Homo-oligomer: A and B are copies of this chain.
Amino acid sequence: MYERKTPLSIDCGLHLTREVLNGKWKPALLYAISMDIKRPSEILRLLPGVTRRVLNVQLKELETHGMVEKKTYPQLPPKVEYSLTEIGRSLIPVIDAMNQWGDANRSFLETVIAQDPKIGETSKSICLKYGHMLVERKIG
């Protein structure tokens, strides 16, 4: 496992939160688990962009940080379920806010991102199913 070489600043709340949410898929993972998509294989189907390996790694970090709990059923084939902890649950409104902001400003953001000289291409079709899920949640 990689070990950090420089001290991590935990001075303000922003940095603490960043440490927990820092990971390409972490907000989405928490979101998914909050939606009851709790098994790794389900999550993989939902987010075709993640690989098995990266999913494991980021879930592990979320677990280390106390945001999710992992329950392993001693079955064969194996069954694993993740669930939010108390504190993990308390993060959902924040993630919700991030998601809503992004969604609400989608057209603007797509435009500026497209103009960003750093960006080559963008792919939009990665988490369609996830998108559907979010819609359903809003309705529910």
Contacts and interface: CB of A to CB of B under 8 A. Distances in A.
Given A12-B134, A93-B97, A123-B7, A112 B66 contact: yes
A78 interface: no
Residues of A in contact with B, size category? 35 or more
Contact of A13 (B15, B93, B99, B112): B99
Q: State the oligomeric state as a number of copies.
A: 2
A16 B123 contact: no
A102 B134 CA distance: 25
A62 to B, nearest CB: 11
A9 interface: yes
Interface string A39-73: 00000000001000000000001001110000000
A105 B65 CA distance: 12
Interface in A1-19: 1-19
Given A66-B112, A93-B97, A12 B121 contact: no
